[in-house]
Amino acid sequence: MKINCLSCGFGVLLDEAYDEYEGQVKCYVCGNLLEIKAMDGRLQSVRVCPAGNMSIYVFENQPQLSTSNE
pLDDT digits (tens, 9 = 90+) for 16-48: 888 999 999 888 888 889 999 999 989 899 998
66 falls within a domain: no
Average pLDDT, the chain: 78
Residue 38 is assigned to a structural domain of this protein? yes
Structural domain span for residue 41: 2-48
Give the C-alpha separation, 40 to 32, whole Å.
25
pLDDT score of 69 more than 70? no
| pTM beyond cutoff 0.75 | no
Those residues whose C-beta lies under 8 Å from the C-beta of residue 25, and which sit 6 or more positions away, are 3, 12, 14, 33, 34, 36, 57, 59
Q: Evaluate whether residue 23 is within a structural domain.
A: yes
Q: What pLDDT shows up at residue 12?
A: 87
pLDDT band at 1 (very low <50, low <70, confident <90, very high): confident
| Domain count for the chain | 1
Residue 12 lies in a domain: yes
Q: Is residue 63 part of a domain?
A: no
